[in-house]
Structure 1
Amino acid sequence: MSLDLLAALLVAVPLASAAVLLVLGRATDRWGHWLGVLASAASFVIGAVLALELLGRDAEARVLDVTLGRWFDAGQLAVDLGLRVDPLSITFVLLVTFVGTLIHVYSVAYMEHDASRRRFFAYLNLFVAAMLLLVLADSYLLLFVGWEGVGLASYLLIGFWNHNTAYAVAGKKAFVANRVGDIGLIVAMGLMLAATGSVGFTQVHAAAAGGAVSEGWLTAIGLMLLLAACGKSAQVPLQSWLGDAMAGPTPVSALIHAATMVTAGVYLVVRSAPVFDGAPTAQLVVVVVGAVTLVYGAVVGCAKDDLKKALAASTMSQIGYMMLAAGLGPVGYAYAIFHLVTHGFFKAGLFLGAGSVMHAMADSVDMRRFGGLARYLKVTVVTFGLGWLAILGVPPFAGFFSKDKIIEAAFVPVDGQPWRAWVFGAVTLLGAGVTAFYMSRLFFMTFFGRPRWDVPEEEARAATARAAGARTAGANASGAHASGAHAAGHHPHEAPALMRWPMIVLAAGSVALGLVLATTGFTTWLEPVTGHAEHEEPVLSVPVITTLTLLAVGAGLVLAYLRYVRDEVPVAAPAGSPLTRAARADLYQDAVNDAVLVGPGRALTGGLVVADRTAVDGAAVGVGRLAVGSGALARRVQTGLVRSYAATTLLGVVVLAGVVLALQA
């Protein structure tokens, strides 16, 4: 089978499966979910075959452009329908299809009792197909088609249970926020056409690398690409949709956060490396956005009691690490993708673990109502715990090999500016410590401590009083009663096998994937796309950076242990400090959006409506009224009486005669 056909089938198979499930409808209810699983698995097998083909070639021959035919001609612009198979795209293909297939398998059991399971799998297949098109496209225009497909699929899946108004609104919020980012990609393509006459990767990147495009043009293009990336990857200032996206079924959260949507922005920046290499200002803005989002997500994660929203904040922060690395240029491109791949495994495992907890706790996501679940969910606590150690960056787990490389790269001076190394290096260290705290908080509150899921409200208030220091005998008696009451309502139980096995496989990746990729030359594999980075020494030695990182992680872990294992966790959330209250409200991101965008937007719209009614409609209505009035006046002389017409004619003759006589005189 030719490489062209294999590349086309990567996208065609899941897309065809989605079409079958949607067109045949209820006829596929009994087997449609397995068709969805098979389609995703088939794309993984095809991707693996293509990966082996690339591995058998020399590095310089690992970029294959597949032309499927002419897409359209518009004046002097001719765009082919083409795919690019290279180390970067195939890395994403393998991640999307492998992790996506595991999520499909998990969903068979998770959605077992949903009447619309067949439609759910159609949307999952559509999501996978759109993401594969996005990463395989050989032009920004075809990438945009996949980009919009991912946006559509996310809207359908986030709002899948749209009978709940809040869930439907969450899907709409994600859709609208991403459309704002899409404006950036559209404008970027317009600038590319103006500067290079093309939107193809080959032409645009060659012009950027060859000096045919000025730095000013490249900066403008880079900033617009960054705006697009912020929308898809939930980076500041377009991050507000990500927490609300947890409204969708948990497998959707895993797919969005681990393998598809939020990774698209990082892909776009790394794929556009020649553009950013020629635009140092745009690169610096990418680093700043990544650094701000890294801290933002970590701070928000510290205050969330909703299990899934805490993990969503974690994703935002980890994507911030990747974006920061991508902004560092050649020294960071490969590390951004390295961390993206390991994150895909441990974050998918964490989300699926969250789904297992929800399955055991009647869909509850309130961590303050958990505790002590480790004794009931033995497989879940082990797999979740391995993902937790991976995201913390504890050696030898996956995150240690990928995230620590980003921290080391952040300490490398750029363009002879050591201040950047100290500032961004310190931010990455801070992020590592805060990540250890909020992820340990999540892990401990869920699986350890006293069971809190059946504590009555009055006892919850007593628990809060104890946490504030009012440790009275009555409060202690209340706590003892709560400990014995936990089994009265909920009966936590482990998830079925179809949910457990994907978590086990992802946990294995959380343990070993980082070491495997680090020792098999993963960053070298990416060099045909990311370029070869000359080794530069960071401002601190690598052993010192590693030591500082592990100390920060250890400090965060110990602090979380003291707060959420040694001390009793209040069932009712205490008021907290102003920062805690702000973090619970996502640092008031929605309030800021309302003040900066929504409010002025409504005022502008209202003003335009008034102007339209008074000026535009007024002018149109005025012309109409003038015509009607003129007609009314003319109608008065059309009486239908012969004598009136004769009199009018006589009057006209007299006036005309008078005019003639006056002229002769």
Structure 2
Amino acid sequence: MPSELAWAIWLLPLAAFVVIVFITKPYPRISGYISIAAVLASLVISLWFVAKVYNSSDHHVPVPSYHWLTVGNFSLDIGLTVDSLAAVMLVVVTTVSLLVQVYSQGYMHGDHGYSRFFAYLSLFTASMLGLVLANNLILVYFFWELVGLCSYLLIGFWFDRPVAAAAAKKAFIVTRFGDLGFLIAILALFMSAGSLDISFLNDWVKAGAAGSLLLTWVALGVFAGAVGKSAQFPLHVWLPDAMEGPTPVSALIHAATMVAAGVYLVSRMFFLVDATETGREMVAYIGGFTAIFAASMGLVMFDIKRVLAYSTVSQLGYMMLAVGLGSPVIAMFHLLNHAFFKALMFLGSGSVNHATGTFDMRLMGGLRKAMPITYGTFLVAALAISGIPPFSGFWSKDEILAHAWEENRALFALGLVAAFMTAFYVFRLMFMTFGGSYRGGEQGGHGEHSSHPHESPWVMVLPLAILAVPSVISGFANLPGLNWFGRFMGEDHFASFNWSTATASLIASLAGIFLAYLMYQVKVVPATALPRLLPNIYKAMYNKYGFDTLYENVFVSRVLYRGIFALLGWFDSTIVDGTVNGVAYLPVGVSSVARRIQSGQVQAYGMAIFMGILVILAAFLLRG
């Protein structure tokens, strides 16, 4: 295959989007097949490029670029970068997208927007693949914003539901604040370096051509964009509400596309983050805090998808922590593992919803026997995210904690507490959903047989079974001593296995699982213990620490509406409209003066001529 075929990786899903919108929209099943075929072809091409990158000495496959435009001395070429970082993301995006789309054929069956749904999925996938492959920041930003637009369309897919429409707007608006920082960073880089080619910027920074203050602010601007997309504190508020979209959308957003884009961006632009100590510390501390902050809210939620949403925010915090500690390779390793087990968990939650008609875990229970495949695969994902060996999450999370132990003990402590919380809320979910006896479900939604739940159709459980395999074995890709993943990524130094941190992490996870077992399975410890003993803390966590209320009542209502928007309204009505009206009134004023001059009296005209002659004579006399 020629290297130019890299363009087809993102153009194929884009072509599927165009075909579905303009040709096959009236034929839902055909639309689904076209979308699946396109992403399958992208996956095959991506795997070929993975092999090419693996066999190359510099972990890079050159792809020809094309001249786009010239403005003065500025020339812009557009091209693609296929290196080890891009190759990993290509496999993650195409694999998860393919399985999500197969699953969606069962989950979205009968929905009146079936073709529109697959068109959006194709555009979403194409946008993320374009973002991964782009070799300059103009293309990156274009696809970055396109990913945000697609998330808006998919979260608000059921736009006739007010709560879904509100969630879509919230996601779109909140992420714009982070994107503004990213845009400012791009403009600052262009004004300073004169180029937006990422490889050029890498060399420019490493050559010491940029000042430390500039690099600090640019790094923080790039990180601001990542904070918005990856739902890190304080721009985390949009992600839990994004659960109002269809469950396959949640799986794609949380596992392989939008939220992964933030981690990918800081990994791709790590040369900026690594250039300043302030940048690295900011990324590390925001990531570490977000990991424990989001995990604490997952402890008390009852909506299964919201528990998983806060889990995603927390796990992304782990990844940001790894980047901030100086190891984007470890962050990408955890992103790889997380993509598989988190997609499995979200699709598993959709399978449960398909049977019970609800996402409320208080109405579930006893599904272990009714849905054995969903239960078994979900258990694999739960063990993986909890960090239980030999499942995938253990190996990547242990590397992050081991690195934190060496670099910053405070951040290690945050990660360890987050590990305990993660295991607790995940197995709280498991015991409430699959343990005990069935509590009735809820009629409506996708719950066709909520009174007698049974296993989902094969088109839905097959992706679960496939995702369960990498959830077990993908962690072996970077086993200590072998370090296949690290070598593929071009890592020079390989971390050895740290028995102390691994043991501490495992004890924390087992303690969380055991406490969840005591509270929600055998019920030796009452589930009401936390709200009874620590009511204020429980209320704060359940109310998301008041951030939604704070942003809505203070920032949106007062700062934006009564402050900035009111000021803009005054500026528009007074300055802009005043200027326009003033221009209109000027001829009226001039004409009124002119009317007075044209009085029709000959004496007045004679006096005006006489005065004019006197002025001219005075001017000549003064000059002489």
- Residue of structure 1 in register with 2:426 after alignment: 439
1:110/1:196 CA distance change after superposition, 3 Å: same
Q: Does 1:449 align with 2:444?
A: no
Q: Does 1:15 align with 2:24?
A: no
Q: What displacement does 1:333 show?
A: 1.5
| 1:509-555, Cα deviation, whole Å (9 max, x unpaired) | 11121124437533423443xx52475x9xxx922211211111111
SS at match of 2:438: coil
| 1:467-510, Cα deviation, whole Å (9 max, x unpaired) | xxxxxxxxxxxxxxxxxxxx997221110000000001111111
- Residue of structure 2 in register with 1:148 after alignment: 145
Letter in 2 for 1:203: F
> Quick one: distance in 2 between partners of 1:211 and 1:435?
42
Alignment of 1:192-271 (within 5 A): 192-271=189-268
- Residue of structure 1 in register with 2:468 after alignment: 507
- Residue of structure 1 in register with 2:622 after alignment: none
Q: Which of 343-352 and 404-413 deviates more?
A: 404-413
Q: What displacement does 1:313 show?
A: 0.3
Q: Which of 369-378 and 40-49 deviates more?
A: 369-378
Q: Does 1:522 align with 2:493?
A: no
1:489/1:16 CA distance change after superposition, 3 Å: closer
- Residue of structure 1 in register with 2:174 after alignment: 177
Q: What displacement does 1:626 show?
A: 6.3
- Residue of structure 2 in register with 1:477 after alignment: none
Q: What displacement does 1:374 show?
A: 1.2
User: Is 1:379–1:500's contact at 8 Å kept on the other side of the alignment?
Assistant: yes
- Residue of structure 1 in register with 2:383 after alignment: 389
Letter in 2 for 1:39: A
User: Is 1:88–1:526's contact at 8 Å kept on the other side of the alignment?
Assistant: no
User: Is 2:17–2:122's contact at 8 Å kept on the other side of the alignment?
Assistant: yes
Q: What displacement does 1:249 show?
A: 0.5
Q: Which of 179-188 and 123-132 deviates more?
A: 179-188
Q: Does 1:542 align with 2:495?
A: no
> Quick one: distance in 2 between partners of 1:25 and 1:166?
30
Q: What displacement does 1:567 show?
A: 2.3
> Quick one: distance in 1 between partners of 2:89 and 2:505?
28
Q: Does 1:299 align with 2:296?
A: yes
- Residue of structure 2 in register with 1:460 after alignment: none
Alignment of 1:260-339 (within 5 A): 260-329=257-326, 332-339=327-334
Q: What displacement does 1:652 show?
A: 4.7
1:424/1:628 CA distance change after superposition, 3 Å: same
> Quick one: distance in 1 between partners of 2:20 and 2:67?
29
Q: What displacement does 1:655 show?
A: 8.5
| 1:370-419, Cα deviation, whole Å (9 max, x unpaired) | 11111211111111011000000001111111111101111113xxxxxx
Q: 1:85 aligned to 69, 82, 90, which one?
A: 82
> Quick one: distance in 2 between partners of 1:92 and 1:658?
85
Letter in 2 for 1:395: P
- Residue of structure 2 in register with 1:600 after alignment: 559
* RMSD over aligned Cα atoms: 2.8
- Residue of structure 2 in register with 1:554 after alignment: 510
User: Is 2:26–2:115's contact at 8 Å kept on the other side of the alignment?
Assistant: no
- Residue of structure 1 in register with 2:339 after alignment: 344
Aligned residues: 607
Letter in 2 for 1:524: G
Identity among equivalent pairs (%): 39
- Residue of structure 2 in register with 1:425 after alignment: 412
> Quick one: distance in 2 between partners of 1:240 and 1:166?
15
Alignment of 1:112-191 (within 5 A): 112-191=109-188
Q: Does 1:613 align with 2:608?
A: no
User: Is 2:442–2:450's contact at 8 Å kept on the other side of the alignment?
Assistant: no
1:605/1:70 CA distance change after superposition, 3 Å: same
Q: Does 1:366 align with 2:328?
A: no
1:431/1:73 CA distance change after superposition, 3 Å: same
Q: What displacement does 1:153 show?
A: 1.1
Structure 1 residue ranges without an equivalent (≥5): 414-420, 457-486, 639-643
User: Is 1:233–1:316's contact at 8 Å kept on the other side of the alignment?
Assistant: yes
> Quick one: distance in 2 between partners of 1:342 and 1:234?
19
| 1:38-79, Cα deviation, whole Å (9 max, x unpaired) | 111110000111111222222x2x223323311222222212
> Quick one: distance in 2 between partners of 1:659 and 1:521?
97
User: Is 2:319–2:332's contact at 8 Å kept on the other side of the alignment?
Assistant: yes
Q: What displacement does 1:657 show?
A: 7.9
> Quick one: distance in 2 between partners of 1:580 and 1:135?
40
SS at match of 1:557: helix
Q: Which of 21-30 and 561-570 deviates more?
A: 561-570
Q: Does 1:583 align with 2:541?
A: yes
Q: Does 1:379 align with 2:373?
A: yes
> Quick one: distance in 2 between partners of 1:156 and 1:522?
38
User: Is 2:247–2:347's contact at 8 Å kept on the other side of the alignment?
Assistant: yes
> Quick one: distance in 2 between partners of 1:405 and 1:133?
30
Letter in 2 for 1:189: I
1:176/1:656 CA distance change after superposition, 3 Å: closer
- Residue of structure 1 in register with 2:30 after alignment: 31
User: Is 2:156–2:245's contact at 8 Å kept on the other side of the alignment?
Assistant: yes
> Quick one: distance in 1 between partners of 2:324 and 2:613?
90
Q: Which of 282-291 and 112-121 deviates more?
A: 112-121
Letter in 2 for 1:565: Q
If you compute each CA radius of gyration, which structure gives the higher value, 1 or 2? 1
Moved over 6 A (4+): 568-571, 573-576, 654-661
User: Is 1:368–1:570's contact at 8 Å kept on the other side of the alignment?
Assistant: no
Q: What displacement does 1:656 show?
A: 7.4
Q: TM-score, normalised by structure 1?
A: 0.86
1:658/1:601 CA distance change after superposition, 3 Å: closer
Q: TM-score, normalised by structure 2?
A: 0.91
User: Is 1:370–1:452's contact at 8 Å kept on the other side of the alignment?
Assistant: yes
Q: What displacement does 1:632 show?
A: 5.5
Q: 2:61 aligned to 53, 56, 64, which one?
A: 64
SS at match of 1:154: helix
